[in-house]
Amino acid sequence: MTTNVERSCDFSEFCDSFYPIISISADFIFDYIPESGIFRLFKNIDGTFSEILSLDTDIEQEFKEKNSVFIDDIDVFERFCDNLRNGIDRADFEIRFADPDKEEYQWYRIRMKTEYDENHCFRRIMGKFGNINDIKNTEKRLIDKAERDSLTKVYNKSTTKKLIKNYLRADSRDTYDAFIIIDVDDFKKVNDTLGHLFGDSILVDLSQEMQDLFRSNDVVGRIGGDEFIVFLRGMKHKSHIESKADDICKIFDLLYAGEDGTKITGSLGIALYPQDGDTFDELYRKADLALYASKRAGKSCFTFYSAEYEEKAVPSLLPRVEQYKRNMDFLKSNTDFDINVLNTAFDFSDTGEENEVYDLLYRIGKHFNLSRVSVFEYISNENCYKVVEQWNGKYGTPTISDFFVPTRSAPQKSRLDFDDNSIFVVDFSKTELNRYEQFLKDRNVKACLSCGYFKNNRLVGMISFEECVSPRAWSIEEAKSAIAAAKVIFLHYFRIRDAGIK
């Protein structure tokens, strides 16, 4: 029988044999011997491994009692310990452990390898802890960038909707969930009188106060200029929701008080799940009706949805979800951003400056927080679509002059995958990608909304709005703004090209 002393020597020999690899790939190494129940941990100190822990007690109990494992990772740690005791090495684990030197928890990835004796019995399991804290922090920053509103740092519209939909599928119907829309009263007047920078500061302060007010498992998101959604989960009584709504109204009292006594106020509309609806759209519609009831009641208050508001709804006060469904004309866009783009275009119309198209791409890329915006033109004598103009953001790499050859011999006659509104949302999850999709994928594009430009039903150009960090969803409003912006860009591009300015 092999003794513990012999096994200890074996482990030392193992470390010596593979030292060059281990010393650069692990922050800690360990071994566990099931016969004795001994767990030993060695720390990499300047390339030398020194034993810092030797336990002959239950490792799971020991680590828990000393709070060595981050509380949210306890379940994963328990699975790791089960695998350790049973000699299972088929899984990696990512767990946060306490770092006494830094007085904080650090992320580690654990990998293990089981060793068997000549009878194929579990003899020892060895493994390593690799510090991945920097990787995890980078991942978190990228996720936050994709999920958070760039100004207020609360969830953006698409993430807010996704999280609420997920909660609606999972939440118990034994409690109240509240869908709350918050709208800053007369916000346009605030911007006009006090300035847009001041208006932005109000939105930032409001967002911060709301994040402090609600729990981590509630959802706080910005879905429009001055409009927010809070999804409040698991309330036992309706009175608790009323109390939170009243707290939101009180936040506005803290935001601003002018010398003349003027204040910034906010109105709230509330719909309850499951009483008022069990889908995002239905709850939004009813909370929106309740919001308008608050506006009609004099603003600076909150109102719960009631069926009586359905009868009072008039066309001018239709909930926005209904307006979107009734007005799906993508060619009629009237957001502040679209007006900004059009005004910019008019400012450029008489200049003939060659950088005006780039300036438009820059404004669009910054507004949508994109990685890259590319203009493609069909070059007939080369039978290809070529990148002729481009703006690159922080995570975009230049692909100017790159091109792809379409599948068909006469591609300009085809609408490819563009819909009737000249919109094409690229789906990279498909088994087979067309050449345009493959072109984008090869250039690290994770999500892309494309707008086609047609003449006599021929695709003569397109603009791709590209995200190279992570997948994202495109809202109806974004699609409307994109097609409006694309038309303006192509008008300028072809005018400049035909005039021989470029």
pLDDT digits (tens, 9 = 90+) for 275-291: 999 899 999 999 999 99
DSSP lists the bridge partners of residue 93 as: 110
User: Distance between CA 225 and CA 231 in Å, rounded?
Assistant: 18
- Taking only the tens place, the pLDDT of each residue in 366-419 is 878 888 999 999 888 888 889 988 888 866 677 777 888 876 544 444 555 777
Whole-number pLDDT of residue 498: 66
Q: Which amino acid is at 191?
A: N
Whole-number pLDDT of residue 424: 86
Whole-number pLDDT of residue 261: 66
**Residue whose token pair is 């200029």:** 225
Angle at 116 between CA 110 and CA 120, to 5 degrees: 140
Distances (CA, A) of 479 to 29, 89, 321: 52, 48, 16
Q: Is the pLDDT of residue 432 over 50?
A: yes
In this prediction, residue 252 has a pLDDT band, given cuts at 50, 70 and 90, of very high
Instruction: Tokens for 120, please give them.
Output: 């194929």
User: Distance between CA 370 and CA 319 in Å, rounded?
Assistant: 30
Whole-number pLDDT of residue 350: 43
User: Distance between CA 89 and CA 122 in Å, rounded?
Assistant: 11
User: What mean pLDDT value characterizes the chain?
Assistant: 80
Domain positions in the chain: 4-131, 148-326, 336-498
In this prediction, residue 346 has a pLDDT band, given cuts at 50, 70 and 90, of very low
Q: Is the pLDDT of residue 354 over 70?
A: no
Q: Which of 90, 71, 72 shows the shortest CA–CA distance to 80?
A: 90
Eight-state DSSP code of residue 73: G
Mean pLDDT of 142-158: 86
Mean pLDDT of 181-196: 88
More confident residue, 298 or 495: 298
Which superfamily does CATH assign the domain made up of 148-326 to? Answer: Reverse transcriptase/Diguanylate cyclase domain (3.30.70.270)
Distances (CA, A) of 208 to 24, 197, 200, 222, 476: 42, 17, 12, 12, 28
Share of the chain above pLDDT 70, in %: 80
User: Distance between CA 489 and CA 476 in Å, rounded?
Assistant: 20
User: Distance between CA 362 and CA 431 in Å, rounded?
Assistant: 33
Whole-number pLDDT of residue 248: 95
Specify the CATH class of 4-131 in words. Answer: alpha beta
Q: Which of 173, 154, 137, 277 shows the shortest CA–CA distance to 216?
A: 154
More confident residue, 486 or 229: 229
More confident residue, 142 or 415: 142
- Taking only the tens place, the pLDDT of each residue in 294-315 is 988 889 999 999 988 876 554 4
In this prediction, residue 316 has a pLDDT band, given cuts at 50, 70 and 90, of very low
List the CATH code of the domain at 336-498.
Answer: 3.30.450.40
Q: Check for a shared fold between 4-131 and 336-498.
A: yes
90 contacts 105 by C-beta, under 8 angstroms? no
Q: Is the pLDDT of residue 23 over 80?
A: no
Residue 130 CA, chain-centre distance (Å), reads: 27
In this prediction, residue 194 has a pLDDT band, given cuts at 50, 70 and 90, of confident
Q: Is the pLDDT of residue 449 over 70?
A: yes
Q: Is the pLDDT of residue 331 over 80?
A: no
Determine if residue 243 is left, alpha or beta; phi over 0 gives left, psi from -120 to 50 gives alpha, anything else beta. alpha
User: Distance between CA 402 and CA 444 in Å, rounded?
Assistant: 14
Q: Is the pLDDT of residue 329 over 70?
A: no
Whole-number pLDDT of residue 227: 92
- Taking only the tens place, the pLDDT of each residue in 97-117 is 998 777 789 999 999 888 888
Whole-number pLDDT of residue 317: 41
In this prediction, residue 337 has a pLDDT band, given cuts at 50, 70 and 90, of low
In this prediction, residue 456 has a pLDDT band, given cuts at 50, 70 and 90, of confident
In this prediction, residue 210 has a pLDDT band, given cuts at 50, 70 and 90, of very high
Whole-number pLDDT of residue 246: 94
3-state class of 203 per DSSP? helix
Poorest-pLDDT segment among 158-162, 177-181, 292-296, 319-323: 319-323
Residues 6+ apart with CB under 8 A from 356: 348, 492, 496
In this prediction, residue 481 has a pLDDT band, given cuts at 50, 70 and 90, of confident
Whole-number pLDDT of residue 333: 41
Whole-number pLDDT of residue 6: 45
User: Distance between CA 372 and CA 392 in Å, rounded?
Assistant: 4
Determine if residue 477 is left, alpha or beta; phi over 0 gives left, psi from -120 to 50 gives alpha, anything else beta. alpha
The answer, as to whether pTM is greater than 0.75, is: no
**Residue whose token pair is 């060793």:** 115
392 contacts 371 by C-beta, under 8 angstroms? yes
- Maximum alpha-carbon separation in the chain: 92
Whole-number pLDDT of residue 231: 96
Residues 6+ apart with CB under 8 A from 496: 352, 354, 356, 357, 502
